[in-house]
Amino acid sequence: MTQTDILLSDQEDLRLLRESARTLFERAGGSGRSRKLRDAGGCWDADMIRELAEAGVFGVTVPAENGGLGMGLAAGGVIAEEVGRVIAPEPVVMTIGLSLGLLRRLCPDHAKLEQLVGGECVLAVAWQERGPNGGPAEASCRYENGKLTGGKAWVVGAVGAQGFLVVAEGGAGPVLVLVAAGADGLAVKERRQADGSAMGELSFSGTPAEELASGGAVRDALAEAISDATALAAAELVGLSERAFEITLEYIKTREQFDKPIGSFQVIQHRAVDLNVMCEVAQSGVREALGLMDRETDPKVRARLASRAKARAVTAARKITRDAIQLHGAVGYTDEYDIGLYLNRALVLSAWLGDDSYHRRLWLEAREQEGAAQ
Amino acid sequence: MTDWNAMSDAEFRKEVRGFFEAEYPEDLRNLPHRPKFAEIEHWHRKLHAKGWVAPAWPAEYGGMGLNAAKLLIFYEEQQRWGVNRGRDMGVQMVGPLIIKFGTQKQKDYWLPRILSCEDIWCQGYSEPGAGSDLANLRTRAEMDGDDFVINGQKIWTTMAHDATHIFMLVRTDPDAPMKQKGISFLLAPMDQPGIEVRTITTLSGETEFCEVFFDNARAPRENLVGELNKGWTMAKALLSFERIFIGSPNLAQNALGQLESFARGRGAFEDPVFRDRFAQAALDVEDHAALYARFADQLKRGETLGADVSMLKIWVTECFQRITELMIEAAGPDGGTIGPLQVGNVGVDVLSSFYKARPTTIYGGSNEIQRNILSKAVLGLPG
């Protein structure tokens, strides 16, 4: 096969993956299902996790010898876009990017990896900590003699997960440990998010944990997993933005005022075009960044590409979801219309793993360091 | 005759790059103004001798016969090296029209003269009352014996004061049911008593735009290209490739490079606000290039581009403007100073870049017109 043939067959694989993910979500009820789950308390559907696993979703970036599809981050992005389109509450990006991102790099033979790929469990990843002023702080959570002491914050999927992958400070540098949900001395405080999901704050007092890995490898794997998850969150925002735009476009074509569809007014048309252009630029930019990450091995360059993707996706999603509310008029401000669900999910996804201005800062610093190194 | 299309993209790019780098005169790189022909004549001679004046024309008419993919590479390399496009209205606009719609006699006469630049062309489309609403044009051409007699006025005619011929859209049937229907495509020599050219001084002090006045000017009947009253459809048929070219990332990329070196020299990168705005602009350029690549791939696969390609132009021209505005900001108290500003041993002309970016959202179909097109043809919005 020539280079072009390979590229084309890759494109074809991605297209098929996109179709099967879309069908799966649509058959399950699309964004209507997401609304029901939110109204029921904000957790995900364990059956859906298993269905997604059967379709190969969680193993998309896991190498084939460990039971995954071995397709790479671009394929993960395709799935994340579909998750975003129906604002599905299942922690797909967290599982592919963070949980499996850590396990496949640090302990690919651990039984939990297979269980995650198989959709038998969800493991939330706890690595950030909250300082006295409420903002992020240096890690101080300790792991000694098989027990954890301290706290972790901003843990996505904490409610509903069967366990936690915790990055803590050990005797000789960082360690990755596994804590079971409901373990002794573990308290989980929920912080309700705009989209109805719960963000967890964990506190440990002598909580028993199983050590999975330790040393510099943990720090490196965490950085890589964060890059992956950041890029995938960007893809999820791209899917979300596209769908939010479609819903809005449909609305302005049908909503009539002054005896005409409001979409016939030039001021509305031009705003719609700007959102459309924003959407297309985001889709191309984010897909390109994920594709480049698959071909890149330098973790710093991968981190820069992830920042590029998240910065673009947040910029686009913010503009699109907020203008979408405006273009819907008063009904856009009600809970009844789906467009608000998209705004709320965009708020949560934008804040998670860094917003656009944060990532522009990282991107520029990375670019300057690369320039200086040359 | 070389079959350029048979080469791999990489090979072809190397060939083009090699020629430009070896042969293009250093003092003509990235010219800040549009040159008169005399200024670039020696380069044109080299290009003509090489047979590269008309990359898009079929080889049988003296062109390179490039397909869309190769053509894109050719233009990318041209812009990359800062190679001036020369006085290319003949090659870009008149030639393709004559090739497509002209008679054999017209082809034999005009095409070689375009390639050699014996004739230098300017474009007479816009009028004072026909800008975005081009079909509203009023310049009349009426038959008188074997000649058309032309009366009226054209405006924004680029470099008309350095052209030997004008190709124009003229009204030949004022009573046509739709204003698009009574328009013809006509060629006229500039050197005659009925034509007067006045230059227009622009915001930047340049005089590349002109007004052209026609007072009983004449053009022989055989200068009509295509059928009478079919000029509008013909002129529109030529625009498809231009629409991706006008949205290419190069102008913004070059300006970004200039902004970065200037702002670094001036210490602007120590300011966190500037840093963020620079990063925004740089990412706007990078992600636009990704979208551009998507459309270029479409061309390379042999597909025709849809109306959605217009989004490239909207995004990149507005981005180009923001970049040049950042340059002015970085210049601080020198932001209103004409001419090159010294940074180290390089001079950066901040105002010239700023002015250069202004008309990009106006020409080639203003960005407002592009938005109208996208809203109807792509988004399917009514009205």
pLDDT in tens, A152-161: 999 999 999 9
> Percent of chain A at pLDDT above 90?
93
Residues of B noted as catalytic:
242
CA distance, residue B371 to nearest chain A CA (Å) = 6
Instruction: Give the residue on B whose Cα is nearest the Cα of A316.
Output: B284
Do A125-214 and A218-373 agree at the fold level? Answer: no
* Contacts with B383 from chain A: Cβ below 8 Å: 260-261, 263-265
Considering only CA atoms, which of B270, B276, B252 is closest in space to residue B356? Answer: B252
The reported pLDDT for the residue numbered A3 is 53
CA distance, residue A343 to nearest chain B CA (Å) = 22
Residue A66 per-residue DSSP state: G
CATH 2.40.110.10 fits A125-214, yes or no: yes
> Architecture of A3-121 per CATH?
Orthogonal Bundle (1.10)
The answer to whether A269 and A360 are in contact (CB under 8 A) is: no
Q: CB distance B372–A361 less than 8 Å?
A: no
Q: Which of B280, B294, B371 sits opposite A273 (nearest CB)?
A: B371
Q: How far is CA A186 from the centre of its chain?
A: 25
Q: ipTM above 0.90? A: yes
Rounded Cα distance between B200 and B197, Å, is 10
Tokens of A3: 């280079």
Rounded Cα distance between B153 and A250, Å, is 45
Output the pTM of the full model: 0.92
- Per-residue pLDDT averaged across A63-74, rounded? 93
CA distance, residue A262 to nearest chain B CA (Å) = 9
The answer to whether A155 and A201 are in contact (CB under 8 A) is: yes
- Per-residue pLDDT averaged across A25-41, rounded? 96
Rounded Cα distance between B256 and A316, Å, is 21
- Per-residue pLDDT averaged across B126-134, rounded? 91
Which sequence spans correspond to the domains of chain A? 3-121, 125-214, 218-373
Note whether B14 contacts A: Cβ–Cβ < 8 A: no
Only one residue has tokens 């200086």, namely: A372
Instruction: Give the residue on A whose Cα is nearest the Cα of B274.
Output: A361
Considering only CA atoms, which of A157, A180, A178, A175 is closest in space to residue A221? Answer: A175
pLDDT tier, B241 (very low <50, low <70, confident <90, very high otherwise): low
The reported pLDDT for the residue numbered A42 is 81
Report whether pLDDT(B167) > 50. Answer: yes
Q: CB distance A361–B286 less than 8 Å?
A: no
Rounded Cα distance between A140 and A203, Å, is 12
Rounded Cα distance between B88 and B328, Å, is 31
Note whether B148 contacts A: Cβ–Cβ < 8 A: no
Q: To probe the interface with B, which of A257, A277, A292, A358 has the most B CB atoms within 10 Å?
A: A277
Q: Mean pLDDT, chain B, as a whole number?
A: 93
pLDDT in tens, B342-358: 887 778 899 999 999 99
Q: What are phi and psi of B261, to 5 degrees?
A: -70, -40
> Percent of chain B at pLDDT above 70?
99
Instruction: Give the residue on A whose Cα is nearest the Cα of B383.
Output: A264
Instruction: Give the residue on B whose Cα is nearest the Cα of A358.
Output: B276
CATH 3.40.718.10 fits A218-373, yes or no: no
Note whether B221 contacts A: Cβ–Cβ < 8 A: no
Q: Which of A268, A284, A360 sits opposite B294 (nearest CB)?
A: A284
pLDDT in tens, A315-347: 999 999 999 999 999 999 999 999 999 999 999
The reported pLDDT for the residue numbered A1 is 44
Note whether A261 contacts B: Cβ–Cβ < 8 A: yes
